C-alpha cells in the first residue's frame, strides 16, 4: 500500500515539477499560424505509446532506464536544428539525463552538411555514396550514406559539441564507440587517442561494426584507417555512455524520399543498434514535389518502411509528421504553391489511423496552404520556400516538444484519475 501511495504521489507531483510552465517552452505568437492545433492526435487512443510513457516515467521520475528516439527524414532532419531543439528541450526537463548521443555520421567526408548539433571533420581522400544517388556503389545502412577510402592517411573526427553552441546545449560524453561498416581487405578503423596511441576495436559481425571501449569519457573521437591494403567503408558511428536517460538520433539525408531509404539494404540491421522506442517519421516533402504525386503509392511505400521498423521492434511507437507547406520553383525568382501538401497530409492521417500511431500536423500548425510565405515574411523560412531559418526550426522543435509533453501529461492525469499505478 505504501509503495502504491508513493507512486501516485510522484505522478501527482510530476506535472508540477516536470511539466510546469518553466519546462513548457514558450513560443512567439504568430498571427498567421494555428498554434492551437499544436497537439499529437491519436486516432485510436495512445495505447501504442504505453512503452514510451513508461520509459518517460522511469527517466523523469526515477532517473532510471533509457528512452531512445529516432527522427527520420530529409534535409529538414539532416540540418539538425529541429531535432537539436527537441533533444535539448527533453534533456532540460530533467537535467543529467544524457543517455548517449546515438547514431551519427562524418558528413563532411561525404561532402555534405553536418547537423548543427555536432562537428565532423576529415583528412585524406574519401569517396562517398548517398541513398539519393540513382545507383549507390557501396552498400548503405540506416544513415543512408557511406564514405570509403584506400588512403593510409585518411581520418574522420566526430565532436559532440555544436558548431555554434547554445546556452542550453547539454554536454554529450561517451565511452563506447561502434564504427559501422566493412572492409574488403586488412584495412580497419582504429581510434586515435589524445596521446596519439591507436586503440584497436573488436569486430562484431552481428551488427557489422567495430566496437571500441575508451579509457575515459570523451566528447570527440578520431577514427583512422589502419592497414595498407583494401578499401575501408564507414556507414555510421554510434556513441554510447551506458548511463540512464534520453537519446535522440537524427537520420536525415538531403533530398531523400521514401524510395531513397529503400536502397539502404542494411537499414533494419543498423536500426537494431539504435533500438528506438519512438520513431518520428518525417519523410515526404521530396515525395510530394512531382505534380503527378500519387498518395496511394506514397502510403504503400510508407507501409514497407513501417514493416521494416516493426520487424526490429514490434512495440516501437510511431509519430507521423505531415509535410510543411511549400512552393515549387518555376524559374529564378518565381514560385508556385505546391498543392500536394494537403494530399500528403491526408495520406499521413491515413497512416496514423492504420497503425494506431500519433500524428503531428505541421501543415495545419503553419496555417495551411500558402502559409509558407507568411513564415518567410516573418523571417522564419528561407527564400526557397521549402526550408526554415534557424529561428523557424527552433520554434518547430519547441512546438513538437510541447505537443509530446502535453500528451504525456494527459496520460499521467488519466492514470491518476483511474487510480492506477
Residue 189 included in any domain = yes
Among 198, 221, 242, which residue terminates a domain?
A: 242
Residue 251 included in any domain = yes
Residue 173 included in any domain = yes
Show the beta-strand stretches assigned E in 124-204.
127-130, 145-149, 155-159, 174-183, 188-192, 198-200, 202-204
Q: What is the pairing mode between strands 358-360 and 40-42?
A: antiparallel
For residue 299, the Cα-to-chain-centroid distance in whole angstroms is 21
Claim to verify: residue 342 and residue 237 sit in the same structural domain:
no
Among 217, 242, 267, which residue terminates a domain?
A: 242
Sorted by sequence, the CB contacts under 8 Å of residue 334 that are 6+ apart come out as none
Claim to verify: residue 260 and residue 382 sit in the same structural domain:
yes
pLDDT of residue 22: 44
Q: What is the pairing mode between strands 66-73 and 245-252?
A: parallel
pLDDT of residue 169: 85
Claim to verify: residue 254 and residue 350 sit in the same structural domain:
yes
What the block records as the C-alpha cell of 127 is 569517396
Claim to verify: residue 332 and residue 411 sit in the same structural domain:
yes
Distance CA 115, CA 376 (A): 22
Claim to verify: residue 94 and residue 128 sit in the same structural domain:
no
Residue 122 included in any domain = yes
Rounded to whole angstroms, what are the CA distances from 380 to 18, 28, 139?
29, 11, 37
Structural domains of the chain, count: 2
Long-range contacts of 388-391 (CB under 8 A, 24+ apart): 388/76, 388/81, 388/82, 388/324, 390/81, 390/116
Give the bridge partners for 46, in sequence order: none
Are the C-beta atoms of residues 323 and 344 closer than 8 Å to each other? Answer: yes
What the block records as the C-alpha cell of 260 is 531513397
Burial class (CB in 10 A: 0-12, 13-18, 19+), 16: exposed
CA angle 169–175–178, rounded 5-degree value = 100
Claim to verify: residue 345 and residue 414 sit in the same structural domain:
yes
pLDDT in tens, the chain (421 residues): 444 444 444 454 554 455 444 468 999 999 999 999 999 999 989 999 999 999 999 999 999 999 999 999 999 999 999 999 999 999 998 888 899 999 999 999 999 999 999 999 999 999 999 999 999 999 999 999 999 999 999 999 999 999 888 887 888 999 999 999 999 999 999 999 988 899 999 999 999 999 999 999 999 999 999 998 999 999 999 999 999 999 999 999 999 999 999 999 999 999 999 999 999 999 999 999 999 999 999 999 999 999 999 999 999 999 999 999 999 988 877 899 999 999 999 999 999 999 999 999 999 999 999 999 999 999 999 999 999 999 999 999 999 999 999 999 999 888 777 655 4
Residue 9 included in any domain = no
pLDDT of residue 332: 79
- Cell 537499414, located at residue: 267
Claim to verify: residue 231 and residue 271 sit in the same structural domain:
no
CATH number, position 172: 2.60.120
Domain range for 156: 101-242
CA angle 56–252–302, rounded 5-degree value = 80
CATH number, position 329: 3.40.50.1110
Claim to verify: residue 324 and residue 390 sit in the same structural domain:
yes
pLDDT of residue 23: 67
For residue 153, the Cα-to-chain-centroid distance in whole angstroms is 32
Residue 14 included in any domain = no
Distance CA 184, CA 233 (A): 9
Claim to verify: residue 149 and residue 89 sit in the same structural domain:
no
Claim to verify: residue 154 and residue 83 sit in the same structural domain:
no
pLDDT of residue 306: 98
Residue 10 included in any domain = no
Residue 5 included in any domain = no
pLDDT of residue 82: 98
pLDDT of residue 419: 55
Are the C-beta atoms of residues 359 and 349 closer than 8 Å to each other? Answer: yes
Among 242, 277, 300, which residue terminates a domain?
A: 242
Long-range contacts of 387-395 (CB under 8 A, 24+ apart): 387/75, 387/76, 387/79, 388/76, 388/81, 388/82, 388/324, 390/81, 390/116, 393/76, 393/79, 393/81, 393/82, 393/85, 394/81, 394/82, 394/85, 395/27, 395/28, 395/30
> Residue 377 in 3-state DSSP?
helix
Backbone angles phi, psi at 31, to 5 degrees: -65, -25
Helix or strand holding residue 119 (H, E): strand 119-123
Claim to verify: residue 78 and residue 68 sit in the same structural domain:
yes
Claim to verify: residue 168 and residue 114 sit in the same structural domain:
yes
pTM here is 0.94
Amino acid at each position: 500500500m505504501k509503495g502504491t501511495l508513493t507512486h501516485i504521489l510522484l505522478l501527482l507531483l510530476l506535472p508540477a515539477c516536470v511539466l510546469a510552465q518553466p519546462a513548457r517552452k514558450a513560443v512567439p505568437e504568430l498571427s498567421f499560424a494555428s498554434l492551437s492545433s499544436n497537439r499529437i492526435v491519436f486516432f485510436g487512443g495512445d495505447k501504442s505509446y504505453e512503452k514510451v510513457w513508461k520509459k518517460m516515467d522511469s527517466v523523469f521520475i526515477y532517473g532510471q532506464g533509457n528512452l531512445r528516439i529516432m527522427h527520420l527524414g530529409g534535409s529538414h532532419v539532416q540540418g539538425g536544428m529541429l531535432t537539436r531543439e527537441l533533444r535539448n528541450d527533453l534533456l532540460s526537463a530533467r537535467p543529467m539525463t544524457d543517455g548517449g548521443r546515438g547514431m551519427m555520421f562524418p558528413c563532411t567526408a561525404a561532402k555534405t552538411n553536418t547537423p548543427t548539433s555536432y562537428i565532423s571533420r576529415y583528412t585524406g581522400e574519401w569517396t562517398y555514396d548517398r541513398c539519393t544517388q540513382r545507383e549507390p556503389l557501396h552498400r548503405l545502412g540506416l544513415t543512408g550514406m557511406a564514405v570509403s577510402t584506400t588512403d593510409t592517411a585518411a581520418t574522420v573526427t566526430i565532436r559532440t559539441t555544436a558548431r555554434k553552441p547554445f546556452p542550453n546545449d547539454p554536454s554529450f560524453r561517451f565511452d563506447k564507440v561502434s564504427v559501422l561498416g566493412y572492409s574488403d581487405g586488412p584495412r580497419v578503423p582504429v581510434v586515435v587517442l589524445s596521446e596519439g596511441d591507436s586503440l584497436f576495436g573488436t569486430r562484431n559481425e552481428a551488427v557489422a561494426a567495430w566496437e571500441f571501449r575508451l579509457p575515459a569519457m570523451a566528447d570527440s573521437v578520431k577514427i583512422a584507417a589502419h592497414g595498407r591494403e583494401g578499401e575501408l567503408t564507414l556507414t555510421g558511428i554510434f556513441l554510447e555512455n551506458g548511463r540512464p536517460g534520453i537519446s535522440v538520433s537524427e537520420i536525415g539525408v538531403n533530398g531523400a524520399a521514401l524510395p531513397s531509404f529503400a536502397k539502404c539494404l542494411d537499414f533494419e540491421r543498423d536500426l537494431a543498434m539504435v533500438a528506438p522506442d519512438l520513431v518520428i517519421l518525417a519523410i515526404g516533402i521530396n515525395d510530394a514535389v512531382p505534380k503527378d504525386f500519387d498518395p496511394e503509392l506514397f502510403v504503400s511505400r510508407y507501409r514497407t518502411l513501417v514493416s521494416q521498423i516493426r520487424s526490429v521492434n514490434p512495440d516501437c511507437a510511431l509519430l507521423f509528421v505531415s509535410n510543411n507547406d511549400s512552393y515549387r520553383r518555376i524559374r529564378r525568382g518565381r514560385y508556385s504553391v505546391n498543392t500536394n501538401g494537403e494530399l500528403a497530409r491526408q495520406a499521413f492521417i491515413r497512416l496514423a489511423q492504420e497503425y494506431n500511431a500519433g500524428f503531428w500536423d505541421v501543415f495545419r500548425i503553419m496555417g495551411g496552404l500558402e502559409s509558407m510565405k507568411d513564415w518567410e515574411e516573418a523571417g522564419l523560412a528561407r527564400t526557397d520556400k521549402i526550408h526554415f531559418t534557424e529561428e523557424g526550426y527552433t520554434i518547430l522543435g519547441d512546438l513538437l516538444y510541447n505537443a509530446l509533453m502535453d500528451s504525456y501529461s494527459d496520460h499521467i492525469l488519466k492514470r491518476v484519475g483511474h487510480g492506477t499505478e
